[in-house]
C-alpha cells in the first residue's frame, strides 16, 4: 500500500471522563510513543456528565496520525476521538495575553496595531499595556511578531480550541 511520508498538522478533539490522571494519561501517551504535541488544551465542558474536552494539535505522517487516533481511542476513559482536520470545516481559536512595556512613540504604535487586530486592552499602567487577542494561531503569531520590537515583555497563550462548523455535535 502506498503511503505518503509527508508530515501533516492535525487538530484532534477528544472527549474524556473528567477524572484524576486523565491528562497525564494523554500526555504520557504522546511522550511515551514519541508523538508531537504542538498545543494541548483541556477543560471540563459538561459538569453534570463529568466530561472534559481535550483539543490537541499534533503533526505526523498519515500513518502516525492514524496511530495517534487509535491509541487515544484505546484509553479506557476516552469517549470519542474526532479528527477535525479531516472531518470537514472547523474553527480554531486561541487566546493570548500580551504585555507590552514602554513609553512614547512605541507605546502609541502598539495601541494602533492592537486596534487593527481587534485586541482589547485589559490592563494598563503609565508604562505598560496588557492586550487580549483571540484568533487563529497564524493571526496571534503575527500579532506577537509585530509587538516584539514595540516592547513585548511577556506572553501567555491558551493553545488551540476547536469546534466543527454546522449543527452537529462532536
Partner 1 sequence: MADQPMTGSEVILKALVDQGVEVIFGYPGGAVLPLYDAMFKQNSLRHILVRQEGGAVHAAEGYARSTGKVGVVLVTSGPGATNAVTGLTDALMDSIPIVCLTGQVPTHLIGNDAFQEADTTGITRPCTKHNYLVKDPKDLARVMHEAFYVARSGRPGPVVIDLPKDILVGAASYVPPERVKHRSYKPQVKGDLRKIEAAVEMMMKAKRPVFYCGGGVVNSGPAASKLLGQLVHLTGFPCTLTLMGLGAFPASDPQFLGMLGMHGTYEANLAMHGADLLINVGARFDDRVTGRLNAFSPNSKKIHIDIDQSSINKNVAVDLPIVGDAGHVLEDLIKVWKAKQPKIDQKAHKAWWTQIDQWRARDCLKYKPGKDVIKPQYALQRLYEAIKDRDHYITTEVGQHQMWAAQYLKFEEPNRWMTSGGLGTMGYGLPAAMGVQIAHPKALVIDVAGEASILMNIQEMSTIAQYRLPVKVFILNNEYMGMVRQWQELLHGGRYSESYMESLPDFVKLAEAFGAVGLRASKPDELDGVIKEMLATDKAVIADILVDKTENCFPMIPSGAAHNDMLLGPGDESGKPADKSVSEEGMVLV
Residues that bind partner 1 (CB under 8 A): 1, 3, 16-17, 20-21, 24-25, 28, 32, 63, 66-67, 70-71, 73-79
| C-alpha to C-alpha distance for 41 and 102, rounded to whole angstroms | 32
Write out the three cell numbers for 23: 491528562
| C-alpha to C-alpha distance for 87 and 110, rounded to whole angstroms | 38
Burial of 119 (0-12, 13-18, 19+ CB in 10 A): buried
26 or 150: CB nearest partner 1:
26
33 or 118: CB nearest partner 1:
33
CB neighbour list of residue 138: distance below 8 Å, 6 or more residues apart = none
CB of 120 to partner 1, least distance (A): 39
CB of 15 to partner 1, least distance (A): 9
> What 3-state class would DSSP assign to 8?
strand
79 or 139: CB nearest partner 1:
79
35 or 143: CB nearest partner 1:
35
| C-alpha to C-alpha distance for 115 and 77, rounded to whole angstroms | 44
**Segment holding 79, helix H or strand E:** strand 78-83
CB of 39 to partner 1, least distance (A): 22
16 or 84: CB nearest partner 1:
16
CB of 19 to partner 1, least distance (A): 9
CB of 54 to partner 1, least distance (A): 13
Amino acid at each position: 500500500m502506498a503511503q505518503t511520508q509527508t508530515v501533516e498538522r492535525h487538530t484532534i478533539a477528544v472527549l474524556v471522563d473528567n477524572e484524576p490522571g486523565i491528562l497525564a494519561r494523554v500526555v504520557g501517551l504522546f511522550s511515551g510513543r514519541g508523538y508531537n504535541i504542538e498545543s494541548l488544551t483541556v477543560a471540563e465542558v459538561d459538569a453534570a456528565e463529568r466530561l472534559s474536552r481535550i483539543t490537541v494539535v499534533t503533526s505526523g505522517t498519515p500513518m502516525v496520525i492514524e496511530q495517534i487516533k487509535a491509541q487515544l481511542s484505546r484509553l479506557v476513559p476516552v469517549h470519542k476521538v474526532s479528527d477535525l482536520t479531516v472531518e470537514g470545516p472547523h474553527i480554531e481559536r486561541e487566546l493570548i495575553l500580551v504585555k507590552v512595556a514602554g513609553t512614547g512613540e512605541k507605546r502609541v504604535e502598539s495601541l494602533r496595531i492592537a486596534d487593527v487586530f481587534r485586541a482589547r486592552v485589559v490592563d494598563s499602567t503609565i508604562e505598560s499595556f496588557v492586550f487580549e487577542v483571540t484568533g487563529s494561531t497564524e493571526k496571534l503569531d503575527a500579532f506577537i511578531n509585530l509587538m516584539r520590537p514595540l516592547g513585548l515583555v511577556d506572553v501567555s497563550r491558551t493553545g488551540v480550541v476547536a469546534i466543527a462548523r454546522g449543527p452537529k455535535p462532536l
